[in-house]
Each structure stands twice: as structure tokens, then as C-alpha cells.
Amino acid sequence: MTGYHANSNRECNRDMTNKSKAVVWENVPSPFCGIGTDDLSIEVDGTALKVLQNGCSVNSAGFEEPVTDTDPRVGGETVTLEEAVAKAADILRETNLPLVGGLATDVNGMRAALALADRIGAVVDNMNSTAAMRNLLALQSGGWVNTTLAEVKNRADLLLMVGGDVESLFPRFFERCVWNQDAMFVDDTTKRDVVFLGRAPAGDAATAPDGRAAEVLACSNADLPEVVAVLRALIHKKVIRANEVGGVPLASLQILAKKLKHARYGVVSWVAGSLDFAHAELMVQTLCEMIKDLNETTRCSGLPLGGREGDQTANSVCGWITGYPVRTSYASGHPEYDPHVNAAERLLTNGEADALLWVSAFNVERTPPATDVPTIVLGRSGMVFEKEPDVFVPVGTPGIDHSGHAYRMDNVVALRLHKLRDSGLPSSAEVLSAIEHAVM
């Protein structure tokens, strides 16, 4: 049977559960890929999921991860959910500076995490903050001119990818947003100009349907800040006394600068998570300022790719509830944001945090960092730990085990996620709220 109903604007039709036999659901939105893929066809048989159509290495793995453990544990022993919650509350009640980390969950999970953190005076941080901060610091220093996926799909005539392995991290980006057949304002999408600056693409997703390979101006990530600074200078017609920068011929950068200035709607994209060098936020800022400069005469927009493991969701919800992104502390009774002091890793390695509550509902690989402080994990079923946490509660995954909302990388579109199966796993929001009530 096929589960999609026309005009299904009511929840009852989209609670995609049916215990009796295997069902296939169409147009399932994914919380895993960050680019808001919502055309998946998924077969549900009991608790087993299989992506039948439009899968990719990220989404198929995310949906098909089997349910293994469903019982909470305290000290490695199976307990009831109530006992696990009570133990978690006991741990948190005794702390001076608890850390609520991971925060890979949906909007309601994030709301509940912040309510708990507000009550116990915790610091909140997300597992991908080191990457996300490269963008947030650039935003908070200078701002930016950015765009969203449908604009790229329908409008971009030039796409500059800076430094990231887009293809492995966002496998369907090119198929969905660049080589789309129909575009509102681009006559022939196969003629789009795609340029990679830095790392060469890992496969051929960026190759045009007519076989034209993307242009690559290769350099190491460490050289990117210099290369990008020179590109910005060239756009300003500054004289550069060099023949090459970071191995990239100056002439190639001059051509690229010209292309950007002559594009009708250029898009400059980067993957913050791939910019693994010190103070990459400064390079992101240079890119953002370069895009602003280009907008004095033509149109050009940034497209920061990210949003996996709920990092965009975490920062959006934290943004409206506290006024700040994550790395915010409730320790003094009101939110205080500090992107350096409140970094989870620093608080743990410095011995400042004295308990860790780790929420990781999407990816079994994303287990908590090694630490000696008491640790509570709300994790996806199937997580394997090097060191058994004090409390482990297997929780459902948003968009599989319960409904919810997740943000796409462009920070505009929130996806409505649906329940696909009855696994009996609680949502992270339910467990976090229960802990909040037990702490009181």
C-alpha cells in the first residue's frame, strides 16, 4: 500500500504508522542531510526501515539504522524509564556547572533542553559548534548576504564552492539544486558555471549533465585564507605583486574575479565543517565581505552548507528562546553567550563542567566525548560506548519514531517531520521534560 494521500494537510493522515504489514511512505522529509530532502520513498516493516527511492549515503544510513536497545540503563543495568530519569535528576541536582551538550534533536527537544538548562543553571552547546561558530562569528562580526536553496536552483548562473567536500557531505545537493532540469530564470541549467576553490570534488556530482567537468582551482585548506583574500582584492582591482597564491595562478583568480563580477546571480558556497584550520571564521568573514562588495554592482549570495545532526535547529531555537546561539550559559540565572568560554570541549578538559547530559538522537556514531564527570546520555538506539555512561536512555529519532520539526541549512525552511513507526522509544523532549520535573 502507498501511504500518501492527496490534500493530506491533517496530521491524522501523516502519522505514518501501521503495525499490521509493511507500508511504503512517499515524500518523506529527512532530518539527516541538512538540505531538506523531502522526496524519499521509505518502506516500513515493523521497526525496520528501507529507503526505496531517492536515497543517498547520508539519508539511507540515517533512516535504516536498526533499533537495537530500547531499555534505559543505569550503570549498565537495565532499569525503567522512571528510574533512569530519577537517577539523571539526582546527578544533575548535585552539580555546580552541568553541561547540556550534543543537542542533536528536533525543535521540541531543543525547547525542552533549554527549559531544563534554565532550571539547573547549565551551559548548552551543540556537537557541531566548532564548525557552526565559523559562520556565527562571521555573522556577528560583519553580517552577510545569503540565499536559500530554491534561489540557487532557479537563479544561480555561477556557483563557487570554497574548500568543502560538498559531494560526500551533501550527496544530493548538485542533483537537486544545480542540475535540476527546470529553472525559473536560467534557460539551460546544464550551462551553469561551477568552480571549486581549494579541495577538488570527490566524485562527479559536480560534472554537468553534458559531461563538462567543474573547474578546479586547487589549493590546500591552509592556503584558503590567503587565496580568498587575494580574490577579494582582485574584485576591488587591487594590484597583486605575485604570480600565484597558495599554488593557484593569479591569472586564474583574475578570471574568477571577473566571472563573479559578471555573473547575474553568483552563489558562493562553503562547508564550515570542512574548514579545519585555525580561525577559519576570518576566512568566512572575508568571503561574506567579498559577497557584499559584489552586491554593490551585481547580485551574489552566500550559501553556507551545514545543518546536519540538528545544528541549525539547535542554534535557531536557542536564538529565539535565549537571544543567543548555543555556547550559552544559564549559570548566573540568565543566558550569557560566550563562544569560547562556553565551548563544551573546553569546559570538560578544563574540569569546569561537573556533569554532562548528552543528547544525540540522529547518529549512533556521535557518542559523548571522553570525560570523567558523571554522564547521562539520551542517545539513538544502537549507540555503542567505549565507557558506559552513568545513565543511558535510548530515545527516538525525530522524523522516524516521532513527529517534530528540523531546520534546513539555509535557516529559513523548517521541515515538518513525521512518525514512521511505533518503536516505543520516547522523544528526547519527553525525557528532558521528565528530568526537568524530577530535578525540582
Site for other proteins in 187-216 (CB under 8 A): none
DSSP codes joined into one string, 233-245: HHHTT-----SEE
Whether 99 contacts 348, CB under 8 Å: yes
Q: Which residues contact 307 (CB under 8 A, 6 or more apart)?
A: 34, 35, 313, 407, 408, 409, 410
* Least distance CB 56 / other proteins (angstroms): 15
Binders of other proteins among 233-272, rule CB under 8 A?
Answer: 264-265
| By CB under 8 A, residue 176 contacts other proteins | yes
Q: Which residues contact 165 (CB under 8 A, 6 or more apart)?
A: 199, 201, 202, 271, 274
Whether 60 contacts 51, CB under 8 Å: yes
Number of residues that bind other proteins (CB under 8 A): 71
| By CB under 8 A, residue 308 contacts other proteins | no
* Least distance CB 440 / other proteins (angstroms): 11
DSSP bridge pairs for 24: 2, 43
Q: Which residues contact 407 (CB under 8 A, 6 or more apart)?
A: 107, 307, 310, 312, 313, 316, 413, 414, 415
Closer to other proteins at the Cβ: 36 or 198?
36
| By CB under 8 A, residue 387 contacts other proteins | no
| By CB under 8 A, residue 183 contacts other proteins | yes
| By CB under 8 A, residue 31 contacts other proteins | no
| By CB under 8 A, residue 340 contacts other proteins | no
Q: How far apart are alpha carbons 203 and 218 in whole angstroms?
A: 15
| By CB under 8 A, residue 177 contacts other proteins | yes
Q: How far apart are alpha carbons 349 and 31 in whole angstroms?
A: 31
* Least distance CB 365 / other proteins (angstroms): 27
Q: Name the residue with cell 556537537.
A: 127
Binders of other proteins among 309-328, rule CB under 8 A?
Answer: 315-316, 319-325
| By CB under 8 A, residue 295 contacts other proteins | yes
Whether 405 contacts 418, CB under 8 Å: no
* Least distance CB 22 / other proteins (angstroms): 22
Contact window for other proteins (CB under 8 A) among 7-15, 72-80, 86-94, 246-254: 7-15
| By CB under 8 A, residue 36 contacts other proteins | yes
Closer to other proteins at the Cβ: 76 or 143?
143
**What is the distance of C-alpha 60 from the center of its chain?**
17
Phi, psi of 69 (to 5 degrees): -85, 135
Q: How far apart are alpha carbons 296 and 107 in whole angstroms?
A: 37
Closer to other proteins at the Cβ: 277 or 337?
337
Contact window for other proteins (CB under 8 A) among 64-72, 202-210, 274-282, 330-338: 330-338
Other C-beta atoms within 10 Å of 289: how many? 17
Can you list the positions of beta strands (E) in 250-382? 265-271, 299-305, 328-329, 336-337, 355-360, 375-380
Q: Which of 354, 388, 315 is nearest to 120 (CA)?
A: 354
* Least distance CB 35 / other proteins (angstroms): 8
Whether 377 contacts 368, CB under 8 Å: yes
Closer to other proteins at the Cβ: 226 or 336?
336
* Least distance CB 417 / other proteins (angstroms): 10
* Least distance CB 155 / other proteins (angstroms): 7
- Run of H or E including 67: none
Binders of other proteins among 102-141, rule CB under 8 A?
Answer: 107-108, 111, 115, 118, 136, 139-141
Residue type at 195?
V
* Least distance CB 184 / other proteins (angstroms): 6
Q: Which residue in 2, 10, 238, 241 binds other proteins (CB under 8 A)? A: 10
Q: Which residues contact 5 (CB under 8 A, 6 or more apart)?
A: 13
- Cβ neighbourhood burial of 2 (10 Å; 0-12, 13-18, 19+): exposed
Closer to other proteins at the Cβ: 371 or 411?
411
| By CB under 8 A, residue 305 contacts other proteins | no
| By CB under 8 A, residue 398 contacts other proteins | no
Closer to other proteins at the Cβ: 209 or 323?
323
| By CB under 8 A, residue 414 contacts other proteins | yes
Q: Which residue in 1, 2, 9, 241 binds other proteins (CB under 8 A)? A: 9
Binders of other proteins among 141-160, rule CB under 8 A?
Answer: 141-151, 153-155
* Least distance CB 176 / other proteins (angstroms): 7
Can you list the positions of beta strands (E) in 272-362? 299-305, 328-329, 336-337, 355-360
Contact window for other proteins (CB under 8 A) among 96-104, 238-246, 353-361, 409-417: 409-417
| By CB under 8 A, residue 277 contacts other proteins | no
Cell of 3: 501511504
